[in-house]
Each structure stands twice: as structure tokens, then as C-alpha cells.
Amino acid sequence: MYIFFINDKPLVITSSEDIPVRFQHLPFIQYQSDLNLMDIVRKIEEATQNGLLVLSEDPAGLLLLFKANFTTIAAGGGIVFNQNGELLIMKRLGKWDLPKGKIDPGETISEGAIREVEEECGIDQLSIEKFLTISYHTYKLQGHRFLKATHWYQMNTTFTGKLTPQVEESITEVKWVNLNEMDIQELDTYESIREILMMVKIGD
């Protein structure tokens, strides 16, 4: 299953046997070779479609067809837990978010993910526990279409100091929260981040 967020609305490419409950309310279509994927993207961008399931016998192959329409930007991010089992979250541009950012030349994605967490939250002593997933969201810039592929890593830290938001990146608050006590559905966040938080919470 692959989930793309277009204007914060999901386009899900999956097989008919692999539809999570949280997406079963979406309208769906069966992929055919004459289907123009970018027509679907434009409908979602123009708010004529609030999200869609595209069913395919070969989701991985369809992923490659979809990505061919975009310039892909690699990014890395962290789902960070401290020694008390609390999750690191931050507020960026008024919405709750997770630390993430583009990969710099010469660094691996995992190195970039750690650097972004350190820079955005003022934290160190990080270690990667495991790779979790890749999230995708699309955007347009100067007439070009981009697909940001964010590689998410679950991290641990022994850091106990003061968290410091990176204000030059429009981050105004950083804090630790108990993920199990969070109402993720009511959290003021982006749908792509909500999906990551739900995945971690339910162990999907």
C-alpha cells in the first residue's frame, strides 16, 4: 500500500485485499492501463475529489508510474522517544508536526534524519532503533510538480536537557507527549503526520 497526500488529502494505491479500515470510506476505482493518474491528481488539487483509493494488482508497479510524473525530493524524519517513552512533537506554522527535512548533499538519509531532529528541536544523543516507512506528499513550485518522499525512522534518545525550537524554520514549540494518551484524530496536524502517528500508535 502506498499513500500520497495531495493538498492534505489521501490518494491510496493498494490491492483490494489490503485496505485499512481508516480508508474504507473513500471512493475507489480499479486501475486500468488507460487511466490517467495525473487527471486524478488534478481533481484532488482542485478539490473536486476529497481522496481516492486506486485498486491495483500491482501497487509497486503503479507507484513507479505515478512517481514518473514528479521530481522526487528525498527527506528524512524522526519519531523520537525519550527514556520515559514519551514522543517528541513540535509546532510549525501553527500545526503540530514531527521533525523532518530534506537530505543534504553527501549525507545518507538516516544521517539527514538525525540532523534534522537535532536542528529543529535542539536535541542530541539520538540513536536509530529502526526504519519505519516512507510517506509521500506532492506540491507545486514555479510550475513544476514535486513529490517529497520522507523516510521515517524510530529513534531513541537519552537527552534530558531543554528542548529548543528552530525559530528560523517557523517552529515555535517543542515538547514531549504521551502518545497513548493523545487523541490523534482531534490533533491539529497535517493528515500525512496523523497517518504516521496512527501507524506508530497501533503498530501498523
Same domain flag for 79 and 178: yes
DSSP secondary structure code for residue 189 in this structure: B
pTM across the whole model: 0.91
Same domain flag for 195 and 112: yes
For residue 159, give the CATH number of its domain: 3.90.79.10
Segments in the chain below pLDDT 50: none
Which residues face 5 on adjacent strands? 10, 137
Amino acid 125: pLDDT = 96
Return the closest-CA partner of residue 153 out of 95, 110, 201: 110
Same domain flag for 89 and 181: yes
H-run or E-run covering 38? helix 37-45
Residue 101 grid coordinates: 527535512
DSSP secondary structure code for residue 186 in this structure: G
Q: Are 12 and 54 in contact (CB under 8 A)?
A: yes
- The per-residue pLDDT for range 101-116, each reduced to its tens digit, is 999 999 999 999 999 9
Domain count across the chain:
2
Give every CB contact of residue 85 below 8 A, 6+ residues apart in sequence: 178
Q: Are 44 and 4 in contact (CB under 8 A)?
A: no
Amino acid 43: pLDDT = 87
* Last-in-domain residue among 22, 50, 67: 67
Which residues face 87 on adjacent strands? 81, 177
Q: What's the Cα-to-Cα distance from 96 to each of 67, 125, 193, 200, rounded to whole Å? A: 28, 23, 9, 16
* Last-in-domain residue among 45, 67, 89: 67
Give every CB contact of residue 71 below 8 A, 6+ residues apart in sequence: 144, 145, 146, 147
Same domain flag for 36 and 110: no
* Last-in-domain residue among 39, 67, 95: 67
Same domain flag for 137 and 85: yes
Same domain flag for 49 and 143: no
Same domain flag for 85 and 180: yes
Same domain flag for 16 and 50: yes
Amino acid 204: pLDDT = 52
Which residues face 6 on adjacent strands? 9, 138
Same domain flag for 81 and 145: yes
Same domain flag for 129 and 182: yes
Q: What's the Cα-to-Cα distance from 80 to each of 4, 37, 66, 99, 119, rounded to whole Å? A: 23, 35, 31, 9, 14
122, exposed or middle or buried, with CB in 10 Å at 0-12, 13-18, 19+?
A: middle
Question: What domain range is 99 assigned to?
Answer: 75-202
Same domain flag for 96 and 176: yes
Same domain flag for 141 and 195: yes
